[in-house]
Structure 1
Amino acid sequence: MLNVDAGGGDRLALAVLARYLMATTEQMHLAIASGVRIKQTRRLAKLQAEGLIDRITLPQAGRPRAWFTTRYGADIASEWPELRNWQPSKLASIYWPGRIRLPASG
């Protein structure tokens, strides 16, 4: 990892996404630190820039974003002691970039 705070919130954010496969921005704010939204949004953008997570925009009203680990992010997270017995779900492969297909909203 290039610039990830391994002892703090960056690691927590990546671990949350690794365990839950996908979460909206709102869910990530609630899971990580509900009182500090701007910092968490920046954290997600930073992890995305590092190639550890990515996002899609959902077709619902308000266009919420859903975040997920990339293959690289899942590989990194699987090496941490707290995720020692965790294995990326075979179903998770549908979430990696280039494989997500959302129905057209109409």
Structure 2
Amino acid sequence: MLNVDAGGGDRLAMAVLAQYRMATTEQMHLIIAPEVRIEQTRRRLAKLRAERLVDRVTLPQAGRTRAWFVTRYGAQVVAEWPELRGWQPSKLVGDRTAREAAGGPRADRDEDRDRLPAGCAPPR
């Protein structure tokens, strides 16, 4: 089983990203844990990334601003939670944002295909 904390912090972070599709580190911090130091939010997101539940892109021309999103694998996990019953990854044009911001990952390789945002088809 995944090491997603039962206390809800990881679960909340995943739910926020699933519903908002993308959020910067600072936005995530303000939503999920504004009372703690931002380093704690960064560590939480890094842990989720290590488990391949979320990934990030560095936005062009925004310094080192990172935008986070759930991976396909993360979307599968979130879709099984009772509180998000019926949630489906969006298949709107806007889902290309992460792929384009990252410079278009090569989704012809299996490891990159899993890292695309939920609902995002590989480039053709």
TM category, shorter: 0.7 to 0.9
Give the percent of matched residue pairs that are identical in Structure 1 and Structure 2: 68
- Pairs within 5 Å for 1:5-24: 5-24=5-24
Aligned twin of 1:33? 33
Query: 2:54·2:68 contact (CA, 8 Å) conserved in 1?
Result: yes
Change (3 A) 1:72 1:6: farther
Change (3 A) 1:41 1:76: same
* Deviation digits for residues 51-85 of structure 1 (CA, Å, limit 9, x no counterpart): 00000000133220000000000010011111002
Shift of 1:101: 1.8
Q: 2-side partners of 1:90 and 1:77: how far apart?
A: 16
Aligned twin of 2:100? 101
Q: 1-side partners of 2:42 and 2:101: how far apart?
A: 23
Aligned twin of 1:50? 51
Amino acid at match of 1:55: R
Aligned twin of 1:74? 75
When the two structures are superposed, what TM-score results if normalisation uses the length of structure 1?
0.85
- The CA RMSD over aligned residues, in Å, is 2.1
SS at match of 1:26: helix
Shift of 1:38: 1.4
SS at match of 2:11: helix
SS at match of 1:10: helix
SS at match of 2:101: coil
Aligned twin of 2:115? none
* Further displaced range: 87-96 or 22-31: 87-96
Query: 1:57·1:64 contact (CA, 8 Å) conserved in 2?
Result: yes
